[in-house]
Amino acid sequence: MDTSNLLVALCLLFAASFLVGRARSVSLAEQKGGVRNLNSLPFYHGVLMSLWCAVPSLVLTLVWLLFDDQIIEALVLADIPPSGVDVNLMMNTIENIAAGNFLGLEPEPQMLAAAERFKSLQSISQMCMSAAVLGLGTLGSLWILKSISLEFGARVKVENAFRIILLACSCLAILTTIGIVLSVVFESLRFFKAIPVQEFLFGLQWSPQTAIRPDQVGGSGAFGAVPLFAGTMLISLIAMIVAVPVGLMAAIYLSEYASARFRTYVKPMIEVLAGIPTVVYGFFAALTVAPFIRDTGTILGFSPSSESALAAGLVMGVMIIPFVSSLSDDVINAVPQSLRDGSLGLGATQSETIRQVVIPAALPGIVSGVLLAASRAIGETMIVVMAAGLAAKLTANPLESVTTVTVQIVTLLVGDQEFDSPKTLAAFALGLTLFAITLGLNFIAQRVVKKYREQYD
Amino acid sequence: MTRPDTQSEQMQENTEVPSEKRRLVDDIRFQKRLEKRYRAEKRFRLYGLLSIGFGLLCLVLLFTDIIGKGHSAFLQTEVALDIHFDADYLQIDDINDSQQLNRANFDGLIKRSWRANFPEVKSRSDKRLLYKISSNGSGFQIKDLLIAHPEWLGTTQTLWLIADDDVDVYYKAKNKGISYQGVLSDKSLNWLNALVEENRIELSFNSTFFSAGDSREPEQAGIKGAMVGSLFTLLVTLALSFPIGVAAAIYLEEYAPNNRWTDLIEVNINNLAAVPSIIFGLLGLAIFINFFELPRSIPLVGGLVLTLMTLPTIIISSRAAIKAVPPSIREAALGIGASKMQVILHHVLPLAMPGMLTGTIIGMAQALGETAPLLMIGMVAFIVDIPGGATDPSTVLPVQIFLWADSPERAFVERTSAAIMVLLAFLIVMNTLAVLLRKRLERRW
């Protein structure tokens, strides 16, 4: 039985134990004159039986699937006399032969034998797993079936299990964070063993092409990330210069001036900009905006690069406009009307009220929104991958091509890679930096709101 | 200017000018200042309108650019050729024998037909150019046609074959009246013009685009593989993130005690919502692929990564939906003897469901458009086959767009735009659904 069939069988078993448990409790109750004599409703007996069947069997399946490959591998390799060949390579060959894929080579007899053994071990493992999992599930439900009685408090048990399952689901968020931190930190530590931290953080040279063979020339590899940080900052800065004024003014107009009708139509349209996938923006930036900037720049006498930071930054700015505007809209709306009325009553015009009363009152919220937008811009990937360059240049000229942290992560990890080279590990170090920066910005944004917000009501 | 200055000025004037005149001067000044303030007011308003106009202009530009580039990809240039299904040449005596069909030289049939059409072409290099007018996948096309119409064996049929992408670019430019700058030589252009005069070239609906997987040849490339891959990825994401997200939201709203552990969970959820998506890709690469050794490029892993990414969105919107259910309903249910679980399952969840579904659809739309984390887990591989399950290697629609956008062939530009149009259409449908759902089922208490 393969794994997907096993899962189907397990589901059938769960359903069966639910029905059996319910029927059992009903029949017990009938003898005594009705369901009301039961401690818990028949439904709970069924669910409890199903749970006792599901939880152990699913856990066992998971554990089995996690470890069976390694055990089979060890068993197969134990039979083969050690040779100079790489273990992983050998295992690959064996798996290929077992799958009937000879790659045009006549396999050695010992490999053929190993492949046979591999196949038989795999089927044995599958069989044992099916038997063990189904057996454990049945045992679990039989255990409950035995204890079902009129006084059996199934409901309390089910409610407790329900609560624990809910708790486990909400802890997944913590697990994810831990997973991110662990995966990024571990690989980064390995990277920092090869390249010192200060060289990574303060070095001015970035050329991650390391030598594949030790005798190769020219591929020394330099991992100074300052040009990447500078490029990221440059592009994000351009994006913020576009997004902050436009987004803020749009929010002000929508919340202070616009009629209700105008708002209901225009606000969702602006928010459409946030729903467009970033790969679409990237395509737009690379194929429409960048050539336009190049041509205009050439006419004006500059010589912009065809992958200028300006193109990526402008399009990213457009992407962030709705982010800034909807966050500011919320805070501006939260400023109490009495403040505006007071100011208007003193004779201020509407724009004076907005500039001198509403905006100062909403400032903490707006600042935190801008910080969140900045963290969005720094972490944005697809636009820069498609529209910004690959050359790590240290420049402040928006018409030149720069590269960013996210672009480098993608280029380092997409395509052929060996997992131990500093080149691949550098991507994780960059990821760690990115994670730290965005987390920091997020934290500051929350602090700003907490610290400076005034309670008006 | 600051206030003390103005006051001292006024006091100076007070001593020198008679009061009547002073009032007049003040009036004029006041009027001037008022006008200035009103002008500032108008300007400010204008800035607001301009900002909104800029946002909308960008939206319109983006859509017109994409549609302008992509609409032509839904049509495909085809060439009519008289194909003689010569049983001897193909060495087929039994049409049902798939081995014979596989061995038969259908490409040769097409080449013969080209030679018959243009007998004046003699040199080898010219012939090769001539053959290139029809797509190099045409052999498979006529093979499939023969399988569908076995009675054609031994007859001559006029068939519309898919043209090469360069021909496609030329013919579409010619139809639009744009001057053609491309790779085709003058010889090829002359042949093409001759074919056009004989009405042997026409545009028809590009069904390949919706029925084929990826290909290196633009005229044979389609988005079906990517669409099916996206579907499987989204199914995995939905199957995991909806129950887990709803469960987490229920715990946090209904059960969670007010303690540090709960605070920790909440802080984590809020932070995860702000983590860049590419970091989730790194997580997937390190945990699912390197640690658990799951295969690369499969929708299952993609779905797992996207689940982790969309969970915060779903949890946050589900919590809002649960919060919106008034406590009186819970109290009433508890009052008539329902247990906590019954209150939640029978009363709170059904009432909060529309809000939760809205959040889930928005989360799914986000997942459908996401590219960066999937690049990390290897869904960028070049995959021709249409995946048959969540464990087959596949790619997804946004990644397909990314791959095509990188291709040098001119004909891929319009196909990329067309794929974007399809993706945007899906997203618009999903978001409209979310809005409608919210409008229809939203209840005010």
Domain architecture of chain A: domains with CATH: 3-152 (no CATH), 222-452 (1.10.3720.10)
Residue A87 to residue A107: CA distance in whole angstroms: 16
Q: Which residues in B lie closer than 8 A to residue A170 (C-beta atoms)?
A: 247-248, 251-252, 256, 265, 315
Per the CB < 8 A criterion, the answer to whether A323 and A242 are in contact is: no
The per-residue pLDDT for B438 is 81
Interface of A with B in 133-192 (CB under 8 A): 155, 158-159, 162-163, 165-167, 169-174, 176-177, 179-180, 183-184, 186-187
Residue B73 to residue B391: CA distance in whole angstroms: 31
Report the pLDDT averaged over residues B159-172: 87
Chain-centre distance for alpha carbon B412: 15
Question: CA of B159, closest CA in chain A: separation in Å?
Answer: 36
H-run or E-run covering A37: none
Report the pLDDT averaged over residues B423-443: 86
Question: CA of A285, closest CA in chain B: separation in Å?
Answer: 10
Confidence band, pLDDT 50/70/90 cuts, at residue A433: very high
Q: Which residues in A lie closer than 8 A to residue B69 (C-beta atoms)?
A: 287
The per-residue pLDDT for A416 is 62
B203 touches chain A (CB under 8 A): no
The percent of residues in chain B predicted with pLDDT above 90, rounded, is 42
Per the CB < 8 A criterion, the answer to whether B149 and B115 are in contact is: no
The per-residue pLDDT for B319 is 94
* 3-state SS track over A53-95: HHHHHHHHHHHHHHHHHHHHHHHHHHHCCCCCCCHHHHHHHHH
Higher local confidence (pLDDT), A110 or B208: B208
A276 touches chain B (CB under 8 A): yes
Report the pLDDT averaged over residues A358-384: 93
| Other C-beta atoms lying within 10 Å of the C-beta of residue B148 | 8
Question: Which residue bears the tokens 């929508």?
Answer: A254
Report the pLDDT averaged over residues B138-157: 84
Relative to beta strand B156-162, strand B75-84 is antiparallel
Q: Residue B404 corresponds to which amino acid?
A: W
Q: Give the model confidence (pLDDT) of A280-328 as tens digits.
A: 999 999 999 999 999 998 898 888 888 889 999 999 999 999 999 999 9
Confidence band, pLDDT 50/70/90 cuts, at residue A82: low
SS3 B344: helix
Confidence band, pLDDT 50/70/90 cuts, at residue B19: confident
Q: Among A306-320, B99-113, B305-319, which is the least confidently predicted range?
A: B99-113
Q: Which of A157, A259, A381 to mutate to test the interface with B (most CBs of B within 10 A)?
A: A381
- Per DSSP (E only), the strands in B61-208 are 75-84, 156-162, 201-205
B256 touches chain A (CB under 8 A): yes
- From B236, B244, B230, B235, select the one nearest B311 (Cα to Cα): B244
Q: Please write down the long-range contacts of B253-259, taking CB distance under 8 Å and 24 or more positions apart.
A: B253/B319, B253/B322, B253/B323, B254/B322, B254/B340, B254/B344, B254/B348, B255/A163, B255/A166, B255/A167, B255/B340, B256/A170
A421 touches chain B (CB under 8 A): no
| Other C-beta atoms lying within 10 Å of the C-beta of residue B442 | 12
Give the tokens for residue A89. 């390579």
pLDDT at A415 over 80: no
H-run or E-run covering B384: none
Q: Is the CB of A434 less than 8 angstroms away from the CB of B279?
A: yes
The per-residue pLDDT for A135 is 92
The per-residue pLDDT for B2 is 44
Of the candidates A170, A171, A249, the beta carbon closest to that of B47 is on A249
The per-residue pLDDT for A259 is 93
Kindly report the average pLDDT of chain B as a whole number.
87
Q: Residue A162 corresponds to which amino acid?
A: F
List, in order, residues 6 or more apart from A255 with CB less than 8 Å away.
A329, A332, A333
Q: Is the CB of A171 less than 8 angstroms away from the CB of B265?
A: yes
- From B283, B270, B312, B263, select the one nearest A443 (Cα to Cα): B270
Of the candidates B255, B380, B416, the beta carbon closest to that of A163 is on B255
B408 touches chain A (CB under 8 A): no
pLDDT at A418 over 70: no
Residue A223 to residue A62: CA distance in whole angstroms: 40
Confidence band, pLDDT 50/70/90 cuts, at residue A178: very high
Residue B22 to residue B13: CA distance in whole angstroms: 8
Per the CB < 8 A criterion, the answer to whether A229 and A206 are in contact is: no
Is the ipTM higher than 0.90? The answer is: no
Report the pLDDT averaged over residues B419-423: 95
List, in order, residues 6 or more apart from B179 with CB less than 8 Å away.
B173
Residue of A nearest to B378 (CA): A414
Report the pLDDT averaged over residues A205-210: 76
Compute the count of residue pairs across chains A and B with CB atoms less than 8 Å apart.
249
